[in-house]
Structure 1
């Protein structure tokens, strides 16, 4: 029997805004018309078209042909699907260059033209930069910025279930402006206890296009909302053994385990799927322990373990010194505030004092963004970026040398 083919043309206009209102202006006590000051019209939105050309080396499994963005290879294989998820779909991501806005914005409108069918999907997402770093990625229909942002970045995610699927995009236009809002003061970064598994899969490809290496150092979460672009640690987790004896700061470079749309740390109002689950409970854990969703993941597979986090081999074996899958404490660092240091050369030892003679209590992977509390003077270190006696104390009481840190942002670091 000939296969039925379904086509859907999508033209989406979405309003992404911080929930806030403009205060009203009290009516004057009957002054003459000339006495009423004129109110300048609010500036119009800043508009631009996102360049869908594939360039720069940070795009994954996408191609621009005949005026359409499409999957370069729509067949689900080890090189076209996220390594940690291992789902039955091929995936591709186009990452646009960040756009510096003419003026800070809290609202973005998106016009998105896509064509999908037979198991193909196309999603436009955005994120915004504020002082303490990037917001999480949000689908164009639900993004919320918690403070004015100075830069906007967009990405397009395409998926297909087989070579016959269609998922193409012809255009994406964004418009940013500002409405009244109250910035949210960040609390401490969110921290949960979840079950972690080892990724392995050396030679496979992660969702951000990284090729998995032997004893690699990165993590995977079952959503793209906290997926760092390749070669960055924009979204970094701190993973510790439940005893607290070993920790590693690792960038999130892959999507999985099990699901690809389960940001389990977000409240129901924001969470992509499984909104009836308690905050902090991964869907795979609920499926494995309680038979939630018939004990199956989003792809219909029987869930064989309760994992809500995957760890690359180096993070698993060397950072935490685990010998088997285990419960761990994970901190989602981008959900908190404070100054951050970027590890330019790692994995970097987390020392118990400001000298290489002190014991190591874990590692900080290359590109990880680590929260720094204050600095002290310690052993002089000749490192990748500088020779210095400055050491930074991290949350939790461990220390790293400034010699291996490429940059610091998000606030001033005081002396301890």
Structure 2
């Protein structure tokens, strides 16, 4: 369930697609003319995003500053050694890794921007290596989930919400994947044992700068709260911030995640708002793969074993990334990625056919 600001709770902010690397010379100072670039608008209050794509640095760096002519702020992220991206941070930003490739985007609140100047430098690290990736599975917390609904509306990354859709919303654009991308995905598990793997395509509920899964040192707001506790939960249960969210609204439930209808009803088989266990998969390490289905709004069955005769224990949404624990030989399956008898274990007692998962490298035998 979403809440009004004035229309949609969590104020779905616009984020965008990961763009391919630009064929520009490597440099640590560069300028982008954005006056003629396409802007994706959405959310409430209305915001827009201009994708600037990836940029190769002449010298590795971990800090980026930005000067915008006109409206807007710049988000930046860096490419990690494992091929995954760091979270988006608002510039000026010190990234948790030193990198040779950064990606940037301009977030508009009104009006338009005409020019962006960016500079990358090497600064003292502000995040310990343990804060970047704490375990193979990633950080995991128990939070309250509500159903988003809003079929026909537009999410923060420009996706038009469909009936029985499969994605989630988190209350920070730091972990917001681009449209038709799952480089920020979660594993959500209900108390009935069912799980869904889904991409993060919206911002909310309640807050828009509450990356509660991060440690206090790097949390954007509410640094005095325990890691893993959403501000809305603290406001609702403990009267934190006078019981209000960052916009001054009275918090009516402790939600830390919104679930699209298909994730809520079909993936987790929920009938009402509930406490769930969420694993923020980009905070983990190890082999990853991307789920690909023939239908844009499709899902793949997650099974208790390595054949279609074993029980269905959840779903994995199209575009979602999954962390692969190990691989096994099982029933041969034909899917979008060809025919294979390999199955991936993506959690204890949870398996998915390789025939529907792209890009896995380095998976070991179970």
Relative distance call for 1:54 and 1:415 in structure 2 (3 A) is farther
> What is the CA deviation profile of residues 73-109 of structure 1, one whole-angstrom value per residue up to 9, with x for unaligned ones?
xxxxxxx31xxxxx5x111111222224455x23233
Q: CA deviation at 1:408?
A: 2.1
Q: Once superposed, what is the RMSD of the aligned Cα atoms?
A: 2.2
Task: Measure the CA separation in 1 of the matches of 2:278 and 2:179.
Answer: 21
The alignment status of 1:97 with 2:53, answered yes or no, reads yes
Match of 2:194 among 239, 246, 252: 246
Question: Who is 1:372 aligned against?
Answer: 324
Task: Measure the CA separation in 2 of the matches of 1:93 and 1:363.
Answer: 31
Q: CA deviation at 1:178?
A: 4.8
Match of 2:183 among 220, 231, 234: 234
- Does the CA-based 8 Å contact 1:126-1:143 persist in structure 2? no
Question: Who is 1:8 aligned against?
Answer: none
Q: CA deviation at 1:180?
A: 8.2
Task: Measure the CA separation in 2 of the matches of 1:93 and 1:155.
Answer: 7
Match of 2:218 among 270, 282, 285: 270
Q: CA deviation at 1:141?
A: 2.3
Question: Who is 2:14 aligned against?
Answer: none
Number of residue pairs matched by the alignment: 331
Deviates more, 1:335-344 or 1:136-145: 136-145
Task: Measure the CA separation in 1 of the matches of 2:182 and 2:215.
Answer: 24
- Does the CA-based 8 Å contact 1:108-1:174 persist in structure 2? no
What TM-score do the two structures reach when normalised by structure 2? 0.85
What TM-score do the two structures reach when normalised by structure 1? 0.75
Relative distance call for 1:265 and 1:180 in structure 2 (3 A) is closer
The alignment status of 1:313 with 2:293, answered yes or no, reads no
Structure 2 portions without partners, runs of 5+: 1-25
Question: Who is 1:151 aligned against?
Answer: 101
Task: Measure the CA separation in 1 of the matches of 2:69 and 2:223.
Answer: 27
Question: Who is 1:47 aligned against?
Answer: 29
Match of 2:282 among 325, 334, 357: 334
Question: Who is 1:201 aligned against?
Answer: 150
| DSSP-derived class of the 1:408 partner | coil
| DSSP-derived class of the 1:330 partner | strand
Q: CA deviation at 1:204?
A: 0.4
Task: Measure the CA separation in 2 of the matches of 1:96 and 1:403.
Answer: 33
Relative distance call for 1:363 and 1:51 in structure 2 (3 A) is farther
| DSSP-derived class of the 2:104 partner | strand
Question: Who is 2:92 aligned against?
Answer: 141
Q: CA deviation at 1:242?
A: 2.9
| DSSP-derived class of the 2:94 partner | coil
1:102-121 to structure 2, matched below 5 A, reads: 102=58, 105-115=60-70
Q: CA deviation at 1:50?
A: 3.0
The alignment status of 1:363 with 2:310, answered yes or no, reads no
| DSSP-derived class of the 2:50 partner | strand
Question: Who is 2:10 aligned against?
Answer: none
| DSSP-derived class of the 2:265 partner | helix
Task: Measure the CA separation in 2 of the matches of 1:100 and 1:404.
Answer: 32
Deviates more, 1:218-227 or 1:272-281: 272-281
Task: Measure the CA separation in 1 of the matches of 2:32 and 2:237.
Answer: 44
Task: Measure the CA separation in 1 of the matches of 2:123 and 2:251.
Answer: 44
Question: Who is 1:174 aligned against?
Answer: 118
| DSSP-derived class of the 2:234 partner | helix
Q: CA deviation at 1:400?
A: 0.9
Q: CA deviation at 1:262?
A: 0.9
Q: CA deviation at 1:273?
A: 1.4
Task: Measure the CA separation in 2 of the matches of 1:278 and 1:292.
Answer: 12
Deviates more, 1:372-381 or 1:215-224: 372-381
Match of 1:291 among 239, 244, 247: 239
Match of 1:187 among 122, 134, 139: 134
- Does the CA-based 8 Å contact 2:77-2:95 persist in structure 1? no
Task: Measure the CA separation in 2 of the matches of 1:112 and 1:177.
Answer: 15
Q: CA deviation at 1:54?
A: 5.7
